[in-house]
Amino acid sequence: MYCVRKVTDDLYWVGANDRRLTLFENIHPIPRGVSYNSYLLLDEKTVLFDTVDWSAGRQFLENIEHVLNGRKLDYLLINHMEPDHGASIEEVLLRYPEAQVISTEKAFMLMHQFNFNVDGRTIQVAEGDTFSFGKHEVTFVSAPMVHWPEAMVTYDLTNGVLFAADAFGSFGSLDGRLFNDEVNFDRDWIDDARRYYTNIVGKYGPHVQALLKKASTVDIKMICPLHGPVWRNDFAYFIDKYDKWSRYEPEEKGVLIAYASMYGNTESAVNALATKLAERGMTNIAMYDVSKTHVSQLISETFRLSHLVLASVTYNLGIYPPMHNFLMDMKALHVQNRIVAVMESGSWAPKSGSLMTEFLDEELKTMTVLNEQVSVLSSMNESSALEMDQMVEGILESMND
Ligand code: FEO
């Protein structure tokens, strides 16, 4: 059964939802699934904007057939070639033999690498080019590294619709409600949107900033991303999030406590720390056991909050592996400008504190590591309790800076 929605008078959402996929990119958990958005314009010419992951191909093809209602497909416009959007290109071209593909030079190179036969059917475009489909004229804006090098976004000069590729997307499948004003985004979607952005595009902040700068020069009436809800109002809310995330600026003053505990003693110590913070009025606290929390969630929370407490047991004379993985992921995603407090624990040779500090100093140079550190020898004692009080002071003082 087809499942489509009208976006404007002559534009339809023809994408599909995937609630069966467990891991996006085979790495990030998506308990709420994900949508692969594709849009079909019925102008004098018919234009399909991007395709979907192959897993959703059947639904997608049914949707296209329904909306075309006997018309031929004239153009397939590809903004982004990652297979969650590009995988169905060849099938679309097989079914619609007159369709020509509009995309960038790099995207055509990738189509060739993926063994898609587009020979003789390509229309290569570049930044600033325009193209008319009848009533609608579009222009192309290159968006390199948002999130692959070939990516572009397409702006409809006629009605202000921005086909934004991966930008302004979100994890989470659509439940019939397509538009941002049909859902409570700030309550139900923002965490998935943040986890999507920070883990998928988070590394490329300067590129996102460049795209936001270009976007600020046009009058956007609607944002059609490749994942998640379509935005038709309240753009400032989401653009502000993107601006903060891509500048690596925290959304909120608050403390993320990420801890690694083998037998509960380190956990007990961070419970005491969190309680002291709350007693002093700092109640914006998020606490996670790194062994039980997917690193994509830790990354997302690191982007959200201003302060980070890393509390790790020593393991094989090193940093506990899930904590080390978190540090490595922060480095990979270029997380920046957080204030970090370090707590170590161990029973016979606590070393995780000095090792975490060394990692932060050498690999995450923009982080500010507080001098106040806590060392727990097996379990909290008077000495470590005093260090903890000093750490609480250090955290609170740095919030006032
Ligand atoms: Fe949703 Fe970069 O693909």
The full set of domains in the chain, from first to last, is 5-246 (3.60.15.10), 255-400 (3.40.50.360)
Nearest residue to 335 via CA among 366, 307, 362, 361: 366
What does the pLDDT read at residue 88? 98
Average pLDDT of the segment spanning 363-380 = 97
* Residue 226 CA, closest ligand 1 atom number: 1
Distance CA 379, CA 258 (A): 18
Model confidence at 374, pLDDT cuts 50, 70, 90, reads very high
In this structure, the number of other CB atoms found within 10 A of the CB of residue 253 comes to 12
At 312-333, the pLDDT tens digits run 999 999 999 999 999 999 999 9
* Residue 36 CA, closest ligand 1 atom number: 1
Give the distance (Å) from ligand 1 centre to CA of residue 26: 13
What does the pLDDT read at residue 314? 98
At 142-156, the pLDDT tens digits run 999 998 999 999 999
45 lines ligand 1 (CB under 6 A): no
- Amino acid in position 328: M
At 256-280, the pLDDT tens digits run 999 999 999 999 999 999 999 999 9
pTM > 0.95: yes or no: yes
What does the pLDDT read at residue 400? 87
Give the distance (Å) from ligand 1 centre to CA of residue 70: 30
Structure tokens at 315: 């393991």
Give the distance (Å) from ligand 1 centre to CA of residue 51: 11
CB burial of 11-22 (b: ≥16 within 10 Å; e: otherwise) equals bbbbbbbbeebe
Give the distance (Å) from ligand 1 centre to CA of residue 115: 19
What does the pLDDT read at residue 51? 98
**Does position 401 have pLDDT exceeding 80, yes or no?**
no
Q: Give residues with Cβ within 8 angstroms of 72, minimum separation 6.
A: 46, 96, 98, 99
> Nearest 5 degrees, angle CA 334-CA 237-CA 205?
15
Average pLDDT of the segment spanning 170-176 = 98
Q: Of all residues in the chain, what percent carry a pLDDT higher than 90?
A: 99
Q: Of all residues in the chain, what percent carry a pLDDT higher than 70?
A: 100
At 41-98, the pLDDT tens digits run 999 999 999 999 999 999 999 999 999 999 999 999 999 999 999 999 999 999 999 9
What does the pLDDT read at residue 49? 98
226 lines ligand 1 (CB under 6 A): yes
Nearest C-alpha to atom 3 of ligand 1 is from which residue? 82
DSSP 43: S
Give the distance (Å) from ligand 1 centre to CA of residue 381: 49
